[in-house]
């Protein structure tokens, strides 16, 4: 299992200290980017992203046939997704070209520093993926990304992803999915929230953050929960089907997994409902001869 704990610790402090200057106010992402890496450090089951095994399997399939694939990472809360990609490609000994796109400079700068520490190469763009343009790629990866968009924007998102793909290129998604539209976030109880914040405080103590920074961290975490970061309508399997039909992408596989037990949830983890599942989705741009 990949584990970027050592660079994550240093880069978590970097994002906490620098997001105030790097994040754009109108995006309302500063609190999120200040604390997300610290929250991953506080996750009791470790910092690796859910579904990492799925992404590694798919990268292995890709590199079996393409020794030098172009890989686009769409959206990055922090260094988690790039770390998984680098670990998966290292296992396959592939000579991949990696492109990372995010509209916020905070995770982009984090990932640039990660590559410097690991002596890895990648191209980085601070840009909106809805209108990002570039050379075609062989695979696009996104993790827990769709619920930051309205349904109308998701159609545009998939359409641009499809346009960026080479023929037979694939989209790999790990994302929450619901059976019914309009499902709202299930906020934690006061006791549950306090318990999660206490875990975050332990991380702050371990990192020897001063009292002012610790208070700033907890206040940011409370604001994140109160304004419900992923407040867009939940992504549904019905919506997935409509997107597949409208974009011409082929749904190659869809696997659903029950949500993690509460003991495995980090301080910012949320659930839309008991029916929600983690979906592992593979879509392919069908070659048209």
* 10-residue stretch averages of pLDDT, the chain, 289 residues long: 65 95 94 91 75 92 92 95 91 87 97 94 97 97 92 94 96 89 63 79 91 93 70 84 90 84 50 68 81
pLDDT value for 67: 86
What is the phi/psi pair of residue 206, to 5°? -60, -40
pLDDT value for 22: 97
pLDDT value for 138: 97
Architecture of domain 5-185+228-285: 3-Layer(aba) Sandwich (3.40)
Beta bridge partners of 140: 72, 171
């Amino acid at each position: 299992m990949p584990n970027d704990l050592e660079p994550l610790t240093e880069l978590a402090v970097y994002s906490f200290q620098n997001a105030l200057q790097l994040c754009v106010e109108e995006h309302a992402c500063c609190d999120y980017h200040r604390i997300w890496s610290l929250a991953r450090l506080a996750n009791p089951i470790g910092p690796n992203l859910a579904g990492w095994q799925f992404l590694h399997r798919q990268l292995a399939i890709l590199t079996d046939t393409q020794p030098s694939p172009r890989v686009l990472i769409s959206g990055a809360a922090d260094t988690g997704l790039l770390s998984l990609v680098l670990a998966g490609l290292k296992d396959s000994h592939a000579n991949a070209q990696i492109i990372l796109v995010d509209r916020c400079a905070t995770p982009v700068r984090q990932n640039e520093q990660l590559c410097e520490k690991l002596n890895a190469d990648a191209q980085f763009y601070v840009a909106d993926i809805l209108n990002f343009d570039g050379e075609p790629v062989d695979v696009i990866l996104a993790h827990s990304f769709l619920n930051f968009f309205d349904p109308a924007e998701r159609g545009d998102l998939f359409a641009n992803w499809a346009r960026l793909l080479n023929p037979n290129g694939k989209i790999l998604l790990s994302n929450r999915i619901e059976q019914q539209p309009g499902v709202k976030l299930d906020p934690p109880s006061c006791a549950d929230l306090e318990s999660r914040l206490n875990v975050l405080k332990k991380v702050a103590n371990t990192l020897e953050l001063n009292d002012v920074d610790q208070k700033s961290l907890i206040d940011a975490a409370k604001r994140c929960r109160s304004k419900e970061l992923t407040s867009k309508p939940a992504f549904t399997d019905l919506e997935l089907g409509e997107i597949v039909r409208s974009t011409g992408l082929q749904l190659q596989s869809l696997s659903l997994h029950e949500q993690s037990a509460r003991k495995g949830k980090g301080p910012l983890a949320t659930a839309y409902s008991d029916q929600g599942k983690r979906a592992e989705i593979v879509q392919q741009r069908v070659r048209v001869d």
